[in-house]
Amino acid sequence: MLNKSKAGWFIVALSLCGMAGHYSTSDAAAEEKPLYSQEETADFCKRFQIAPIEFHFPKQSFLEAGYAPPGGYVKDFGVIKHDGRYHLFHIDGRPTERCCESGNEISFGHASTADLRHWIRHRMPLAVGDRPWENEHVWTPFVTEWQGRYYMFYMAGGRHTPGVLTYAVSDDLETWTKWPGGAIQTAGGRDPFVRIADGVIYLYFTANAGGIEVVTSRDMQKWSQAKTVYRNPQRLPAESSSVHRRNGRWVLWFNDYIHCADPSGDFRPGYVFSDDPLKFDPQQLRVFKFTTPLPTKYGPHDWLEKRPIPVSIELLEKGENTWLVTYFRWHLDRFRLLIGALHWDTDPASIEEIVTPQRLKEVRAKMQ
């Protein structure tokens, strides 16, 4: 419900919605028609409660250089498809500051796209609060649907407390209400991923103690004790995990490194197959081969790794031997969201960065 002052602003915004109907695409695609008609823009403004300004309706295509909000970056994130649009929820922060700096990474960004090129920026969905275990940072949102509602799991961090998972609930992906139950006490860690099967909610996460653990629930209220899914004593941090079905087996992927104090030079995207979605053997780990046609120049204060690495890989679409994925990495001047083709028919499996509309079209055709 909008208060009177906000409602007044919103009515004015709606009256200007036609102004955004003339936005064009990037210079590289100048021959294309305007992105949205005046009627479509007005509908977006009303549904998303946003103004028809370039901040919310950026003109350019982001496929070539990666998506990031003005003045900020995209780090660990979740993506969910709704009404023909991919909705991105991500850590939002300032490129000149590290993740653990007080005042940085205190809120999430929200944007959506229908074509993986052109994005609409939505209102901020969630931020830190006054609960002592959630007053310093919010990290790694992951959104899933369950029983007709949307659940955003995320890590909450306090000024003097370790990270713990919790969630917020929404009916429309726009307005979120934090779970009054507070923290999920048995899920101490970050980087949630949710898989729902046979009435059971499986919540995977990077454990504070190292490795990947899982807790389960049948009602989103009571949660089991954590069990270890994957643990490599030589490479304890295993971040941003996902678990998916492929050819009758399960594949777990994540990023790992030797020690979180200084991952430089040893950060990698890995994957491992198993017959059991709750137990993966580190001895079976493979490392994705990653290729990109984009330049890889770094400055002295950029990302610790001086090479391109896909981080927080999320599945978008499945083909037989090719999957469409998205991830973030450092590019140009900040962390940005990029798109890739995951090829299972190479050895090891490889991720090819997609930076042109033609290549995106070719990959999707191959997936049919």
The verdict on 128 and 54 lying in the same domain is no
Task: Note the pLDDT tens digit of each residue in 211-256.
Answer: 999 999 999 999 999 999 999 988 877 999 999 999 999 999 999 9
Alpha-carbon distance 326 to 312, whole Å? 8
Peptide bond just before 69 cis, omega within 30 deg:
no
Q: Which long-range contacts (CB under 8 A, 24 or more apart) does 34-37 make?
A: 35/118
Sorting pLDDT into bands at 50, 70 and 90, what band is 297? confident
Say whether both 295 and 258 belong to one domain. yes
Across the strands, what pairs with 228?
A: 213
**Closest C-alpha among 59, 47, 49 to residue 19:** 59
| Domain match, 181 and 253 both | yes
Structure confidence by residue, pLDDT tens digits, 173-183: 999 999 999 99
* Count of domains observed in the chain: 2
DSSP letter (8 states) at residue 79: E
User: Are residues 215 and 191 part of one domain?
Assistant: yes
Q: Report residue 259's pLDDT band, with 50, 70 and 90 as the boundaries.
A: low
What is the spatial distance between Cα 48 and Cα 174, in angstroms, rounded to a whole number? 7
- Domain end position, chosen among 15, 42, 60: 60
> For the CA atoms of the chain, what is the radius of gyration?
20
CA 19/CA 36 separation, integer angstroms: 11
Q: What is the pLDDT of residue 26?
A: 39
Identity of the amino acid at 62: F
Do 156 and 25 belong to one domain?
no
User: Same domain, yes or no, for 213 and 259?
Assistant: yes
Domain that holds residue 279: 61-367
pLDDT category of residue 98 using cuts at 50, 70 and 90: confident
Q: Specify whether 24 is located in the same domain as 134.
A: no
Same domain, 1 and 112: no
Average pLDDT, the chain: 88
User: How many other C-beta atoms can be found within 10 angstroms of the C-beta atom of residue 4?
Assistant: 7
Give the tens place of pLDDT for each residue, 185-197: 999 999 999 999 9
- Do both 258 and 299 map to the same domain? yes
pTM score of the predicted model: 0.89
Whether 319 shows a pLDDT value over 90: the answer reads yes
Asked if 19 and 86 sit in the same domain, the reply is no
Residues 286 and 207 placed together within one structural domain of the fold:
yes
**Domain at 78, CATH number:** 2.115.10.20
Residues 101 and 52 in one domain: no
* Domain end among 24, 43, 60: 60
